[in-house]
């Protein structure tokens, strides 16, 4: 597995590269956001936010816009709103400095396992239709009532998860486990953020909140 490590502090970057190589990873190290954006294809990007040239959030967003490469963000910020914002930008996971090396390796392997599992088991049906909602999981194109809808990768994954079993109630815990990761350690508030974003981009009535349990996707046209 080829990892791109984006870290400008050599006292962190070099030991990190050495440790990851001992774990069996091929590691490319860059120290700027520009170099990260100019890099080739990798299996995962480990992105530090404190870069000397470009805000790490900008790098994260631009990487996500161009590919589905898994991104783990490294941040010294501990406020929950910062972490939620990063996940909205397309990061798959995050670690907060100072972090343990074993924790970081566990996060990397968990994210790679999940993405590899998605590739090994592609959905049997590429097209999903629920009322006026149409999803093509092969091209990742989404339309609602005839208009194209632009989603982040995680918003897309969440919508597909709910749309595969419309009207069924999905618990918050099960959604976090299946859409994010069984080893997810972050706040579940990110689920609410993604649900709110989907409602804004589609229609408020498309995703219902089942109080105290979770959410379900419904065919809003059938209710009119």
The CATH number of the domain where 143 resides is what? Answer: 1.10.10.10
Residue 83 sits in the same domain as residue 131: no
Closest CA to 161 of 211, 214, 87, 109: 214
CA terminus-to-terminus distance, the chain: 50
53-100 pLDDT per residue, tens: 998 889 998 998 888 889 999 887 655 556 677 777 788 888 888 888
The burial of 198, by beta-carbon neighbours within 10 Å (0-12 exposed, 13-18 middle, 19 or more buried), is given as buried
Residue 115 sits in the same domain as residue 142: no
Residue 16 to residues 6, 51, 87, 112: CA-CA distances in angstroms?
11, 16, 23, 18
Q: Is the pTM of this model over 0.75?
A: no
Q: Where among 92, 120, 148 does a domain terminate?
A: 120
Residue 109 sits in the same domain as residue 143: no
Indicate the SS3 state at residue 158.
helix
172-216 pLDDT per residue, tens: 888 887 887 654 545 567 889 999 999 999 999 999 999 989 999
Domain that holds residue 59: 2-120
Residue 111 sits in the same domain as residue 193: no
Per-residue pLDDT at 90? 80
């Amino acid at each position: 597995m080829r990892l791109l490590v984006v870290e400008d502090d050599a006292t962190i970057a070099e030991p990190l590269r050495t440790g990851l190589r001992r774990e069996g990873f091929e590691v490319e190290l860059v120290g700027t956001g520009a170099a990260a954006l100019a890099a080739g294809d990798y299996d995962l990007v480990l992105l530090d936010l404190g870069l000397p040239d470009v805000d790490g959030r900008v790098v994260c967003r631009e990487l996500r816009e161009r590919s589905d490469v898994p991104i783990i963000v490294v941040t010294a910020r501990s406020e929950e709103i910062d972490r939620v914002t990063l996940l909205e930008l397309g990061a798959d996971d995050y670690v907060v400095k100072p972090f343990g090396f074993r924790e970081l390796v566990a996060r990397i392997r968990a994210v790679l396992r999940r993405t590899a599992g998605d590739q090994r088991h592609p959905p049997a049906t590429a097209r999903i239709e629920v009322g006026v909602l149409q999803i093509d999981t092969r091209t990742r194109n989404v339309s609602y009532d005839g208009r194209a809808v632009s989603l982040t990768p995680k918003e897309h994954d969440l919508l597909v998860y709910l749309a595969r079993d419309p009207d069924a109630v999905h618990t918050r815990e099960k959604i976090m486990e299946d859409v994010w990761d069984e080893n997810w350690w972050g706040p579940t508030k990110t689920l609410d953020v993604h649900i709110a974003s989907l409602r804004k981009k589609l229609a408020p009535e498309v995703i219902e909140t089942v109080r105290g349990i979770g959410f379900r996707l419904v065919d809003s046209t059938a209710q009119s």
